[in-house]
């Protein structure tokens, strides 16, 4: 049985910071050390057991003794910050990345994941023997490297879950069919690891795979009891499968919050083992609810610790300040790893970068920030945190156009970053003026520097006959039409989100997009789920078309072949944005001006916050 200094654990988060050979880098130290200060334990990202079983090219390896020195140095440094360190061992089976040369794909079945991927080879008993040996070798190597705890992945659609799941395991031999047969191979792995090392062993399970015919709670509890009999030290309860239900696996904002907590509570009630709960633990209130309502022993906090390395310290009262919130968007974290850049974060501009601590300035300056969107608020806080005197001008609502982002269906969690910024602006002493700034007032205001963060405005194409149209008004419930025919011109992120809101009220929606692809710039999970929703609602999408003429409710499209859409009630124009900066050219050349965020170049929220942070560090 293991015990931790506090109930918080960081679960295995894919970072993508390795050197391509499975080694530890300085980026791992930068990420893990500050997050090891107020938690009981940290699980490193999933460690590959063989180079042919990688999920991402830049994954940490545990396949050879040459990995031990780098791991030991990292573990000792994390111990110095107060955390125990967990080795998360996983065999991906058919979910090994098919884009990585040399990867092999094995499974209980010879069927590929229904969402795509390589066709696996159905494992023989010799293959199973080899897989068990990989787990045992990995556990022994983890022990030598200095890990404190082993975690075995039996969930999330990876190899051992591919044997457990009745939806995947289609064998008719001793390793398939009944629950007892499907559990044989996973239990064999657990027994072998327990026999090989004297470290505590945690097992991670999907309480429910959230697919028809998959693993459900009754079998999870039955398996948990068998694991308890075999001396497992704790159960870590999650949900979903990376193959079929990635939104549940990643706990995306589009899935209901708290379902995994309920699963953990049921396991805790049924089995006399410590239970770890996980999934969108984002606030102190979430932590309290998990303790009081679900009675879990440990709480895994992942992406909230990416967004704010001091999340648990703030919950425990050991660190002052508001929690910089995770938005559950997966855009920076999952999106960064998928892009090959490594884990990033939309709301935390330092994640994944080699930035030194912001330093106190040699001279305190009086700085004006014009525009209170994400870039403007971030630069204001960064400057103020370094000691500058800061005045922020915003004539409308703080947050700028990001006030619209959280109005799209399923995206209410995005509001959290606006609340955070407003609280921090008030706490930090930034002077916020709810008025429009002009060149004359700025030049006479005694400012040493001006930062222009005035954002962007819609770019409207010249279309014959287009006079009355809408932009984002329909994201707000009071303006949302019902049971009308609406044409959306532009199939990018904004256009698709508006269409999603419209179909929620039974509007007939037609989308026209000049390019071949729609939903460009949308995070992958959000894109898949939103396009699926639109298809189910009968939304018609015309790609490689351009609206050429509007004549009342009759819309003419240029393309091959030309098309006409009749009886349109309303038109939405969402054809992109253009930077808005009239101010910088009006200011005297004697007053230094810095244009940032969308005012400089239209981008995403992550780009705006990063640009604000970098500018704030440099002045």
**Active-site residue numbers?**
158
Quote the distance between the C-alpha of residue 524 and its chain's center: 10
Token pair, residue 398, equals: 């703080």
Tokens 């009675």 -> residue = 295
Taking the C-alpha atoms of residue 542 and residue 516, their distance in angstroms, rounded to an integer, is: 9
Taking the C-alpha atoms of residue 190 and residue 201, their distance in angstroms, rounded to an integer, is: 8
Peptide bond into 355 cis (omega under 30): no
Contacts 24+ apart (CB under 8 A), 64-73: 64/22, 65/141, 65/144, 67/22, 67/23, 67/24, 67/141, 67/145, 68/141, 68/144, 68/145, 70/23, 70/24, 71/24, 71/44, 71/145, 71/146, 71/147, 72/145, 72/146, 73/24
Taking the C-alpha atoms of residue 413 and residue 418, their distance in angstroms, rounded to an integer, is: 10
Q: Left (φ > 0), alpha (ψ -120 to 50) or beta: where does 69 sit?
A: alpha
C-alpha triplet 361, 366, 369: angle, nearest 5°: 105
Peptide bond into 561 cis (omega under 30): yes
What crossing angle do the helices spanning 125-145 and 179-196 adopt, rounded to 10°?
40
* Beta carbons of 506 and 528 less than 8 angstroms apart: no
Within 10 A of 575 (CB to CB), how many other CB atoms are there?
23
E strand residue ranges, 257-343 = 275-277, 298-300
Taking the C-alpha atoms of residue 14 and residue 330, their distance in angstroms, rounded to an integer, is: 12
């Amino acid at each position: 049985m293991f015990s931790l200094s506090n109930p918080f654990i960081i679960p295995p988060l894919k970072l993508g910071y390795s050197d391509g050979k499975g080694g530890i880098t300085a980026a791992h130290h930068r990420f893990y050390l500050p997050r090891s200060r107020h938690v009981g334990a940290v699980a490193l990202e999933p460690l590959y057991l063989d180079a042919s079983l990688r999920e991402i090219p830049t994954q940490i390896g545990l396949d050879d003794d040459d990995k031990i020195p780098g791991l030991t140095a990292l573990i000792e440094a994390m111990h110095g910050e107060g955390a125990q360190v967990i080795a998360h061992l996983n065999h991906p089976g058919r979910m090994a990345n098919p884009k990585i040369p040399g990867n092999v794909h094995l499974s209980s079945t010879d069927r590929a994941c229904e969402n795509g991927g390589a066709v696996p080879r159905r494992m023989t008993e010799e293959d199973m023997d080899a897989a068990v040996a990989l787990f045992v070798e990995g556990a022994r190597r983890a022990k030598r490297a200095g890990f404190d705890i082993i975690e075995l992945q039996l969930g999330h659609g990876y190899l051992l879950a591919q044997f457990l799941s009745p939806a995947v395991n289609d064998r008719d031999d001793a390793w398939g069919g009944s629950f007892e047969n499907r559990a044989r191979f996973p239990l064999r792995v657990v027994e072998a690891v327990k026999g090989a090392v004297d470290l505590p062993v945690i097992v991670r399970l999907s309480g429910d795979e959230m697919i028809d015919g998959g693993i459900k709670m009754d079998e999870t509890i039955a398996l948990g009891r068998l694991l308890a009999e075999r001396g497992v030290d704790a159960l870590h309860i999650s949900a979903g499968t990376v193959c079929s239900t990635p939104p549940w696996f990643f706990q995306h904002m589009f899935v209901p919050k708290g379902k995994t907590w309920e699963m953990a509570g049921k396991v805790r009630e049924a089995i006399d083992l410590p239970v770890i709960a996980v999934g969108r633990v984002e606030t102190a209130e979430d932590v309290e609810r998990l303790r009081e309502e679900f009675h879990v022993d440990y709480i895994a906090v992942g992406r909230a610790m990416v967004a704010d390395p001091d999340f648990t310290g703030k919950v425990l009262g050991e660190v002052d300040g508001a929690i910089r919130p995770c938005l559950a968007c997966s855009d920076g974290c999952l999106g960064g790893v998928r892009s090959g850049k490594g884990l990033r974060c939309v709301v935390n501009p330092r994640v994944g970068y080699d930035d030194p601590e912001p330093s106190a300035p040699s001279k305190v300056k009086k700085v004006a920030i014009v525009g209170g969107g994400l870039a403007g608020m971030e630069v204001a806080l960064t400057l103020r945190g370094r000691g500058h005197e800061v005045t922020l001008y915003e004539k409308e609502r703080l947050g700028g156009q990001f006030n619209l982002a959280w109005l799209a269906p399923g995206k209410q969690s995005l509001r959290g970053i606006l609340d955070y910024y407003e609280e921090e602006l008030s706490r930090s002493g930034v002077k916020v003026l709810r008025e429009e700034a002009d060149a004359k007032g700025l030049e006479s205001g005694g400012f040493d520097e001006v930062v222009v963060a005035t954002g962007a405005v819609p770019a409207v194409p010249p279309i014959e006959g287009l006079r009355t149209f809408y932009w984002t008004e329909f994201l707000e419930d009071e303006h949302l039409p019902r049971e009308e025919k609406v044409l959306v011109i532009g199939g990018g992120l904004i256009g698709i989100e508006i269409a999603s809101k419209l179909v929620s009220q039974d509007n007939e929606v037609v989308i026209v997009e000049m390019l071949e692809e729609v939903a460009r710039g949308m995070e992958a999970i959000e894109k898949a789920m939103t396009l699926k929703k639109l298809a189910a609602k009968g939304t018609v999408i015309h790609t490689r078309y351009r609206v050429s003429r509007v004549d009342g409710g009759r819309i003419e499209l240029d393309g091959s072949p030309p098309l006409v859409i009749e009886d349109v009630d309303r038109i939405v124009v969402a054809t992109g944005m253009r930077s808005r900066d009239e101010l910088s050219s009006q200011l005297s050349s004697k007053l230094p001006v810095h244009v940032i965020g969308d005012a400089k170049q239209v981008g995403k929220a992550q780009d705006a916050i990063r640009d604000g942070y970098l500018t704030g560090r440099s002045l």
